[in-house]
A and B are shown apart, each in its own frame.
Chain A
Amino acid sequence: DSGVTQTPKHLITATGQRVTLRCSPRSGDLSVYWYQQSLDQGLQFLIQYYNGEERAKGNILERFSAQQFPDLHSELNLSSLELGDSALYFCASSGGTRAYNEQFFGPGTRLTVL
């Protein structure tokens, strides 16, 4: 158990809908990262927050947004969902912004868009 929690574990929804994925980092970790794992794109970095502020952005679509709250939990919002958004979404956390800090991953949220 990495100490990172994600809810829900599974999510099934329809095209055009909007969903929110939630992540709680390990106790004391200030950085939260979101990754998407899909069959065609592999594991891709989406976005990172550090202590409530956006720190780095990757291949995140404009339909997707995220935020980190004062209690350090984070939410990833996916809107106008398309079939291609079906994927496993991981949240990871680390203790800071030092490049060598290991990122510990949550169990993931499997999103299925029908």
Chain B
Amino acid sequence: AQKVTQAQTEISVVEKEDVTLDCVYETRDTTYYLFWYKQPPSGELVFLIRRNSFDEQNEISGRYSWNFQKSTSSFNFTITASQVVDSAVYFCALRLFGNEKLTFGTGTRLTIIP
């Protein structure tokens, strides 16, 4: 069975600092998809990124970047120059090819201190 581990329960950083959120996944499947979602205090889940298992290219989107490493089964998320609006709970999720469900990690609560 698949599993997603987000070992960091809570992280606090001062505004403008960089912060990395860790995600480690487990699966025996060779084709799968990884996702990051953001849950701000308002409660909704906001899709951030999808990464396919056959594409290890890292991605950057503005202040956000993602580092996917199959060798260590990790899909880490870095926020550069953090802002107060980045305060949220961030979830990493895994979906197997041919399987409909998302398996979520337990989330990391990120607090950006002004």
Whether A99 pairs with B97 at a CB distance below 8 angstroms is: yes
Give the contacting residue for B101; candidates A2, A33, A104, A107; CB below 8 A.
A33
Whether A107 pairs with B106 at a CB distance below 8 angstroms is: no
| Interfacial chain B residues near A90, Cβ < 8 Å | 45
| Interfacial chain B residues near A58, Cβ < 8 Å | 101
CA distance A100 to B101 in the complex (A): 11
Known: A88-B43, A100-B33, A102-B35. A42 touches B104 (CB 8 A): yes
Size of chain A's interface in residues, with CB distance under 8 A?
Answer: 26
Size of chain B's interface in residues, with CB distance under 8 A?
Answer: 27
Known: A33-B101, A45-B102, A56-B101. A100 touches B43 (CB 8 A): no
Number of residue pairs spanning A and B whose beta carbons lie under 8 angstroms apart? 64
Q: Which chain A residues in 59-114 approach chain B with CB under 8 Å? A: 88, 90, 92, 97, 99-100, 102-108, 110
Known: A42-B107, A102-B50. A55 touches B45 (CB 8 A): no
Closest chain B residue to A9, Cβ basis: B43
In whole Å, how far is B55's beta carbon from the nearest beta carbon of chain A? Answer: 10
CA distance A43 to B105 in the complex (A): 8
Whether B37 pairs with A48 at a CB distance below 8 angstroms is: no
CA distance A58 to B100 in the complex (A): 10
CA distance A42 to B101 in the complex (A): 14
Whether B43 pairs with A99 at a CB distance below 8 angstroms is: no
Whether A107 pairs with B96 at a CB distance below 8 angstroms is: no
Closest chain A residue to B91, Cβ basis: A43
Which has the most chain A C-beta neighbours within 10 Å: B42, B44, B91, B100? B100
Closest chain B residue to A99, Cβ basis: B97
Whether B47 pairs with A56 at a CB distance below 8 angstroms is: no
A-B contact pairs, 7 of them (CB 8 A): A43-B91, A56-B100, A97-B100, A103-B102, A105-B46, A107-B42, A108-B45
**Residues on A close to B: CB < 8 A?**
2, 31, 33, 35, 42-45, 48, 55-56, 58, 88, 90, 92, 97, 99-100, 102-108, 110
